[in-house]
Structure 1
Amino acid sequence: MDEMTSIPQYRLFIKPIDLKELRRDIWIDEPVPAQLTIDGRKLEIDLSYRGSHIRDFAKKSFQIAFYKPKKFKGSNQIHLNAEYKDPSLIRNKLSFDFFSEIGVLSPQTRHVFLTQNGKAEGVYLEIESVDENFLKRRDLPNGSIFYAVDGDANFSLMSDLDKETKKSLELGYERKYGRPEDDYYLQEFIFNINTIPQSDFEKEIPKYVDIEKYLRWIAGIIFTSNYDGFVHNYALYRNGDSALFEVIPWDYDATWGRDVNGKVMEANYVPIDGFNTLTARLLDVEQFRKRYLNLLEEIMNHQFTTEFMMPKVEQLLQLVRPHVLQDPYKKLNIEDFDKEYEAISNYIVERRMYLQRKLTNLE
């Protein structure tokens, strides 16, 4: 199917007894069996709800694990995001594509139209799972992957949740792929971020984290304005060859001028120097701060412009609009959808003005 003119149709079938079980308690992660038809091929799957606060929304997001066959198009698992609070339905994809453009490892995504037991559920964003297949697809070295699952993934010895000293340095993370002994490298990384003396930091920290890729990730957060991005909404990948950590973005619907509730977020809301312990320590080093400054200027000259971004925005909006009209949760808000081109354009203009004013503070 030509994705320039249409989006793939995903047909989900769940037996009534299993659907009842799925809906019985939305907070249970236990999957139910279901069948998913993609491109005429019937797949046996395990289906569960995904996300935290988004489970309360009328339009649910799903996690799909392939059961028979165990793998489909190189994946064991995919995520279907409802994008319920984003009036445009494109911010997540726009963000991941932007991260890729600026040299950050990012999940692949595409919009699909989902039906459940013959009833339209609407436009969803299919997101690639960040796991061993993510690495294989990109021909990357084997390594470990940790998901940041809550605010304790703040690169600090202090908990972001209760403001106490962490009882474990793995708090805030869940190992998605790797061996139990890989947890040691994560603990060592967090410990060293916080304990290397400032006099040795510039020389020692590059032994644990890919500085260039980390700074590009921070730049991506700054340009998209993901408020939770510094302490949440990411995965850590430890490259088995270089033994360095890299960061992969995740859940970027509350971006490009909208917050988690879909409300307007002021262009100056997310500070230019971010907030987490590792970022603060890196930007305290003149060499790293200068590189970050150069990166911001470089991206503002090339990718973060209305000239570069708005044709991409327009293409995505045109792609999904006919399907939004068939989305039972969104079709009555098509007027809001149609205002989103201007909303994203205004955000880019205003965010550029804010960042240009603040760049001198980093010099």
Structure 2
Amino acid sequence: MWMWACGSEAPSPPTQPPPVIEDPTPSNPTPVDPTPNPTPVDPDPVDPPPPPPPPVTPEAQRPYVMPKLQTSVPEYELIIPPEAMKKFAEDVWTPEQDAVFKAKGMTYPVKVRLRGASARFFDKKSWNVSFADGTRFEGRTSLNLVAEFADASMLAEKMAFDLLEAMRVPASKATYVLLTVNGSPQGVFLEIEQVNKAFLKAHAFADDDATIYRCGWKDCEMKTWKVPYQGDWTKKTNERQPDDALVAMMDVINHSPEPEFAEKLGKHLQLEHYLRSMVMDALMSNNFVEDSESYFIYDRAVAKWSYVPWDLNNVDARWWYLNPVPDMATSTNSMRHPLFNFTLFDAWTEKMYLQRKKESQSYPGYLPVFSNLATRVLMNPELRGRLDERLEKALDELFKPEVLNPYIDAVHALIDSHMRTAPYIDYERFRASRDYMKRYVRERRAFVEKDWARLKAQRSTLVFDAFDPVEGWVDVANHGTTAVSLQGMVLTTNLRVSLAQSDHPPTQVHPPMGAVLPALTVAPGAKVRLKVSELGIQLAPKGELGLFDGKSVVGVKDFLFYGALPSGQQYQRGEAGWEAR
């Protein structure tokens, strides 16, 4: 029997000399037409149809690939007049000042200011550079020169943006540069692409004059109401046009009936990009999203919104500059942020609440902060399934040592020689950060897999079984095996106001917003109907309803964002989720 390796041709058998055959053709043959009945030549031949094109791989199935790393570090120079530098030193919130920018043999008159929030007070300053109208530098009208002083690795924000690019999410490009200010070397910076009209063109938005919003200061919660400490949505383009589209999108996010939510969200939002940005948040443990002031862009040509993440230097992956080498060598605190970040399922939502509520002067009336959009995505079975697929894909193709260890080595090698002599940094910590970031990838990956399995398996004993906002009642069912008392639990129409008792009044529920429930017992497999008017609660035609343990701002048993249904219909929980019946 012949045997060969898979994929190889079978070997030929031994050859024999060919037999000699006598040529029967006469030595002087009469010419004969080899085609006695030739076929007439078509004077107008028709080309055969081209072969069918190769099958197109669906976008969601295309592999995630880390972008190519730059091969050199360009040098930038700022020349800022002494009087302007004095103003910045005396007041970090000084507005733009005249300056000169030099790069690649060219000189540009520019405006400069310090950038960031707490970063303005660091020793190594970050700068925003704006070019004059009609002037562009490599296609850009402004530059964000980020010092990355808070991250000894100089890598966390860069990796976060590169992961977004690998997953084909339209997000800013991050490039390492060297900066000199008034002849004084400042070291390595990360130049982060500004989200503006130049960004729209660079990322192939169909509408090159799309409407760009920036979330109000302190959150991108995507809710329909404001708190005292929250800033306004800031419009960066088309400032004089009404905000009708934004108001309508907030209504879609907050008030789409749950049975229609996935379909409506896909119609009005670049949903694929948003799910992938949630994956990045999970992998890089994106903390302080409430402070990010990220962007929300309305592309009128396709009538869809895009969420564009920003301020990724707050990811927990960073090596905080105050943490010494021995601590970071063993610490895993930054690797254990529960999934999913910036949602009602994130236990660190309470951690941040407890921290911020003490700062009453800075945050009057502080409430727990989370994204209504991300929270609804997680609660919706269809969208949660799609998120699961994207997370698994990123873990399989990107976020693993085989891919990111060489990436970390390459980034380190790119900037190492510049970091050796850079001011403001501890080179020993930078050198050690290469191994730390590799450990972060390994241990964060393991934590994400474990915590996502926990979250998917998590089942609440008490759930809403049916709800009629018009008639004013909600059924609470017990899916457990033992009786449960509702006494002391909270039924609330505001998911951020959910405590039975609190030393911070804004989070303690009172009628008509909600109520502390009396001693009602729900037997296993049974349900009770709560008539909300009898509890002093007023239901809006569209809104939100939650059942909490009354003790924790993330102690949620079940919740529902709801919109108005056709007359006579109610919300009923089916096997696949909420239905309208």
Fold agreement, TM-score > 0.5? yes
Does the CA-based 8 Å contact 1:144-1:177 persist in structure 2? yes
Q: How far 1:312 sits from its partner (Å)?
A: 1.3
Partners of 2:173 and 2:199 in 1: how far apart?
Answer: 9
Mapping 1:162-177, distance limit 5 Å: 171-177=231-237
Between 1:347-356 and 1:195-204, the stretch displaced more is 195-204
For 2:92, the equivalent position in structure 1 comes to: 26
Partners of 2:406 and 2:322 in 1: how far apart?
Answer: 22
Does the CA-based 8 Å contact 2:77-2:102 persist in structure 1? yes
For 1:44, the equivalent position in structure 2 comes to: 109
For 2:65, the equivalent position in structure 1 comes to: none
Tell me the number of residue pairs that the alignment of Structure 1 and Structure 2 aligns: 351
Q: How far 1:273 sits from its partner (Å)?
A: 6.0
Q: How far 1:296 sits from its partner (Å)?
A: 0.7
Q: How far 1:298 sits from its partner (Å)?
A: 0.9
After superposition, the CA RMSD in angstroms is: 2.3
For 2:485, the equivalent position in structure 1 comes to: none
Q: How far 1:156 sits from its partner (Å)?
A: 1.8
Partners of 1:52 and 1:229 in 2: how far apart?
Answer: 14
For 2:449, the equivalent position in structure 1 comes to: 356
Q: How far 1:113 sits from its partner (Å)?
A: 1.1
Q: How far 1:89 sits from its partner (Å)?
A: 1.2
For 1:16, the equivalent position in structure 2 comes to: 82
For 1:119, the equivalent position in structure 2 comes to: 184
For 1:97, the equivalent position in structure 2 comes to: 162
Q: How far 1:119 sits from its partner (Å)?
A: 1.1
Between 1:185-194 and 1:294-303, the stretch displaced more is 185-194
The letter of the residue matching 2:88 is L
The letter of the residue matching 1:278 is L
The letter of the residue matching 2:401 is T
Q: How far 1:294 sits from its partner (Å)?
A: 0.9
- Distance 1:104-1:231 versus aligned 2 partners, 3 A rule: farther
Q: How much identity, in percent, do the aligned residues show?
A: 25
- Distance 1:355-1:208 versus aligned 2 partners, 3 A rule: same
Q: How far 1:228 sits from its partner (Å)?
A: 2.2
For 2:137, the equivalent position in structure 1 comes to: 72
Which of the two has greater helix per residue?
A: 1
Between 1:244-253 and 1:46-55, the stretch displaced more is 244-253
Partners of 1:273 and 1:292 in 2: how far apart?
Answer: 13
Between 1:88-97 and 1:63-72, the stretch displaced more is 63-72
1:334 matched to 2:427: yes
Q: How far 1:293 sits from its partner (Å)?
A: 0.7
Partners of 1:161 and 1:121 in 2: how far apart?
Answer: 38
Partners of 2:336 and 2:228 in 1: how far apart?
Answer: 25
Q: Which runs of 4+ in 1 moved over 6 A?
A: none
Does the CA-based 8 Å contact 1:44-1:68 persist in structure 2? no
- Distance 1:262-1:145 versus aligned 2 partners, 3 A rule: farther
Partners of 2:400 and 2:322 in 1: how far apart?
Answer: 23
1:285 matched to 2:380: yes
1:144 matched to 2:144: no
Between 1:296-305 and 1:182-191, the stretch displaced more is 182-191
The letter of the residue matching 2:214 is Y
Does the CA-based 8 Å contact 1:256-1:344 persist in structure 2? no
For 2:351, the equivalent position in structure 1 comes to: none
Partners of 1:289 and 1:186 in 2: how far apart?
Answer: 25
- Distance 1:152-1:359 versus aligned 2 partners, 3 A rule: closer
For 1:238, the equivalent position in structure 2 comes to: 298
Does the CA-based 8 Å contact 1:36-1:44 persist in structure 2? yes
Q: How far 1:178 sits from its partner (Å)?
A: 2.9
Aligned equivalent of 2:199, options 122, 130, 134: 134
Partners of 1:260 and 1:278 in 2: how far apart?
Answer: 29
The letter of the residue matching 1:200 is E
- Distance 1:54-1:243 versus aligned 2 partners, 3 A rule: same
Does the CA-based 8 Å contact 1:113-1:124 persist in structure 2? yes
1:213 matched to 2:273: yes
The letter of the residue matching 2:81 is K
The letter of the residue matching 1:63 is N
Partners of 1:200 and 1:153 in 2: how far apart?
Answer: 23
- Distance 1:348-1:161 versus aligned 2 partners, 3 A rule: farther
Partners of 1:113 and 1:357 in 2: how far apart?
Answer: 40
Q: How far 1:260 sits from its partner (Å)?
A: 6.2
Partners of 1:17 and 1:93 in 2: how far apart?
Answer: 33
- Distance 1:188-1:250 versus aligned 2 partners, 3 A rule: same
Does the CA-based 8 Å contact 1:112-1:123 persist in structure 2? yes
Does the CA-based 8 Å contact 1:34-1:45 persist in structure 2? yes
Partners of 2:322 and 2:159 in 1: how far apart?
Answer: 16
Between 1:65-74 and 1:32-41, the stretch displaced more is 65-74
1:200 matched to 2:260: yes
The letter of the residue matching 1:86 is D
Deviations 1:238-289 (A, max 9, x none): 2222211111121212336237666564312142364121111122211111
The normalised TM-score by structure 1 is 0.89
Q: How far 1:354 sits from its partner (Å)?
A: 1.4
SS at match of 1:238: strand
1:266 matched to 2:334: yes
Deviations 1:193-233 (A, max 9, x none): 22222233233232321222211111111111111236635
SS at match of 2:253: helix
Partners of 1:99 and 1:256 in 2: how far apart?
Answer: 16
Q: How far 1:189 sits from its partner (Å)?
A: 1.4
The letter of the residue matching 1:221 is D
Does the CA-based 8 Å contact 1:226-1:270 persist in structure 2? no
Aligned equivalent of 1:156, options 195, 206, 223: 223
Q: How far 1:187 sits from its partner (Å)?
A: 1.9
Between 1:122-131 and 1:180-189, the stretch displaced more is 180-189
For 1:304, the equivalent position in structure 2 comes to: 399
Deviations 1:9-30 (A, max 9, x none): 11211221222233331113x2
